[in-house]
Amino acid sequence: MGGASIHYPRRVTHRALHTRQGFIEEVLYMQKLITELKEANIGTVLINEPLANHTTWKIGGPADILVEPTNKMALAHSMKLVHKYNVPWQVLGRGSNMLVRDKGIRGVVFKLAEGFDHLTFNGEEVEVGAGYSFIRLAVMAGKEGLTGLEFAGGIPGTVGGAVYMNAGAHSSDVSRILKSAEVLLENGELVWLSPEELGFSYRTSVLQKERRGVVVSAVFRLQYGDRKTIAGHMAAYKDRRRQTQPLSMPCAGSVFRNPPGDHAGRLIESAGLKGLTIGGAQVSEKHANFIVNRGNATAQDVLDLMERVIEIIDERYQVRLVPEVLVVGEG
């Protein structure tokens, strides 16, 4: 493993490498960070890990360092080390709703999985770890006879990602049911934030903008309801998802946000763009607001296809589509 370490900083660009001395300093910084992360015994530390293995699109270059912390204290310690060495960072849940560029992500990628999958019901409230499946949370809430999370039954990804993006469907979203979220701030401090402090709006939160942090856990406020009714809604949503979405192919969910008063999928379909292909990326023939990986798509294929769709819809309908997926990393 040590023999490969010289390669990591060659892709790190957060500090300018104008001189040979600068390059050497960058190498040493990254090696020191890797050493401290491993010595801290905070979980799994992978080097040059292909992120195509960790995204639902099956696309993405390598992360310089991928850290899978065992718990929130391990995550906090890792974040303090990242802050100490002034290394850029990114969070990855299940890799849905995210496009990683072909040259990967510089610095550290935190992946929240085991250790962040706890679930506790307390009356009409449920506390759940950020790494817990959002779909499974909806199912478990329904079994408890709790209503309010039915909309999540068709949203892939984790609870942390859902809070970060204010995920929603079927005329509801996270902001309507969230009581509070535990967030690890960039300085390593753990805080609980209210929906107001999270600054929710359509598919966004303050965490995407001026207050960077990692969602660690969340508390949702639900209501007791009829189990059969809840199960019926869940089954209907699941069936609709199966019939209308290309679940058999690698994809990342809806690509574009719905414009006010309309649906991105309707506009794309009405423009005759279903099946439009660039490289290995294709506008789904099943759902026009999905782009699928036909097996060999690159991130650049997807980006080029997204831009082509945006241009055509803008020219034809004077509507500028806005991406819903997060695009991260280096092209």
Question: Which candidate in 203, 205, 217, 284 is catalytic?
Answer: 203
Question: Which candidate in 78, 175, 254, 284 is catalytic?
Answer: 254
Q: Tokens 């929710």 sit at which residue?
A: 200
Q: What does the block give as tokens for 156?
A: 């892939």
Find all residues with CB under 8 Å of 171, minimum gap 6, and list them. Answer: 151
Q: Is 254 a catalytic residue?
A: yes
Question: Which candidate in 26, 49, 182, 324 is catalytic?
Answer: 324
HEC string for the chain: CHHHHHHHHHHCCCCCCCCHHHHHHHHHHHHHHHHHHHHCCCEEEEEEEEHHHHCCCCCCCEEEEEEEECCHHHHHHHHHHHHHCCCCEEEECCCCCEEECCCCEEEEEEECECECCCEEEECCEEEEECCCEHHHHHHHHHHCCEECCHHHHHCCCEHHHHHHHCCEECCEEHHHCEEEEEEEECCCCEEEECHHHHCCECCECHHHCCCCEEEEEEEEECEECCHHHHHHHHHHHHHHHHHHCCCCCCCCCCCECCCCCCCHHHHHHHCCCCCCEECCEEECCCCCCCEEECCCCCHHHHHHHHHHHHHHHHHHHCCCCCECCEEECCC
Give the dihedral sign, CA 211/73/91/250: negative
- CA-based nearest residue to 59, from 241, 224, 301, 321: 301
CA distance 158 to 134: 5
Exposure string over 48-66, b if 16+ CB within 10 A, otherwise e: bbebbebbbbbbbbbbbbb
The catalytic residue positions are: 203, 254, 324
